[in-house]
Structure 1
Amino acid sequence: MERNVAQIALFAALIAALGLVPKITLAFGVPVTAQSMGVMLAGAVLGAKRGFLSMLLFVILVVIGLPLLAGGRGGLGTLMAPTAGFLIGFPFAAYVTGLFVEHVGIRPNGLRAAIGSVLGGIVVLYAFGVVGMSIGLGKSIIECLGLVTAFVPGDLLKAGITGMLVAAVAKARPQTVSWATQS
């Protein structure tokens, strides 16, 4: 149990550290950050349950006011911004990524993690993000889907990097990625 708690806290801290990478804010107010790769990594390494919990911890810390989002943002106001859907989607994106890597026996492990990252860290995260943007920007879902296409190339790159990192970790320390030795 102590190891699980430590890993959950470690990945919440990883997301915070990735927020230090300078953000690039697009014209419609949603930044390109490295934090979505942390969401992918949390799900791919920790699995569904622990990945979800690590991202839930991160979201709670942000909402109570810690400036952990890219650009030093935090507090209740983050739930009113155009980015709110992405933030709320972090735990669910990690969960779906983790669910995929735990239950789909694709080999090699890096490919499994990359595909899981696309499903959770892009498809699921965008679903939450588009709804949040629609509410925050007062635009239609279709308009917001058009806006998020700017993120697709970078997020595909992040999913690929996640796959490579997970493959390396699974090879070097297979006990860290428990699903890697299954199936």
Structure 2
Amino acid sequence: MSQAATADRGAASQSEVSAPRGRWGAGDLAFIAVFAALLAVFAAMPAIPAGGAGVPITLQTLAIALCGMVLGPARGFLATALYVALGLIGLPIFSNFSGGLGVLAGPSAGYIAGFALYALVVGAVAGWAVRRLRGWRLWLVLFLGGLLASFLTVHPLGIAGMSLNLGLTLPQAFFADMAFWPGDVLKNAGAAALAVVVHRAFPAVLIRR
């Protein structure tokens, strides 16, 4: 084989190896669409009223955590952002089958604003942990990372939204938000457990080889 042919073959092989990295395909778009639909399904499940603030306890945050833990930061963020965008344009896919821009004037506005950021931060944790950990260690990091992410994103924005739209003081809104803390612990634990199972069965979902 000539040196030119060998060089051409080597260049082609290098191109084949490096081309897929960083590129998204139809599979990524499908994951984004499927998880956005999953969010809508979880939001449609019966909500539990939580105190007098008017913000119900739902399974939305479990599904959002799962988006980030399974898809990683970019795709998890986009799946959640797609869900929020579809709800804001009028589709009744938020809790209690609500939708439209009117929800931004309601008590849940801040929580909705934090959804995509929550998926982004959780996804960043998952992107690091899934490459390095397995078993209960992976579950623990995903659980603690998801819980920390919720208290850095969803809860502060939710408190601010209740204070602004309900006329509550920040301490009053903070105490109203505390009703969601036990549920967040359980939902992040459940999402982490599901994510560990998914990554064990389908490791290429987040880590492409």
Question: TM (normalized to structure 1)?
Answer: 0.92
Q: 1:121 to 1:11 in 2, by over 3 A?
A: farther
| Residue in structure 2 matching 1:118, options 124, 130, 147 | 147
| Residue in structure 2 matching 1:109, options 138, 145, 150 | 138
Look up the equivalent residue of 2:191 and give its one-letter code. T
Name the counterpart of 1:40.
65
Name the counterpart of 2:124.
99
Q: CA deviation at 1:146?
A: 1.0
Name the counterpart of 1:132.
161
Look up the equivalent residue of 2:58 and give its one-letter code. T
**CA distance in 2: counterparts of 1:116 and 1:14, whole angstroms:** 21
Q: What do residues 69-98 of structure 1 show as CA deviations (whole Å, max 9, x unaligned)?
A: 121000010111010011111100000111
Q: Which runs of 5+ in 2 are unaligned?
A: 1-24
Contact 1:8/1:51 (<8 A) preserved: yes
Matched, 1:12 2:36: yes
Q: Which runs of 5+ in 1 are unaligned?
A: none
**CA distance in 2: counterparts of 1:35 and 1:122, whole angstroms:** 15
**CA distance in 2: counterparts of 1:117 and 1:29, whole angstroms:** 24
Contact 1:62/1:75 (<8 A) preserved: yes
Name the counterpart of 2:192.
163
Contact 2:72/2:124 (<8 A) preserved: yes
| Residue in structure 1 matching 2:95, options 70, 85, 89 | 70
**CA distance in 1: counterparts of 2:152 and 2:185, whole angstroms:** 11
Contact 1:9/1:54 (<8 A) preserved: yes
Q: What do residues 45-71 of structure 1 show as CA deviations (whole Å, max 9, x unaligned)?
A: 111111111111011100000000121
Name the counterpart of 2:14.
none
The number of residues matched between the two structures is 180
Q: What do residues 88-129 of structure 1 show as CA deviations (whole Å, max 9, x unaligned)?
A: 111000001111222355552222221221122343210111
Contact 2:127/2:206 (<8 A) preserved: no
The structure number with the bigger radius of gyration is: 2
Question: TM (normalized to structure 2)?
Answer: 0.81
Percent identity, please.
Answer: 36
Name the counterpart of 2:83.
58
Contact 1:96/1:119 (<8 A) preserved: no
Q: What do residues 21-55 of structure 1 show as CA deviations (whole Å, max 9, x unaligned)?
A: 10012221001000111111111111111111111
**CA distance in 2: counterparts of 1:50 and 1:116, whole angstroms:** 18
Look up the equivalent residue of 1:7 and give its one-letter code. F
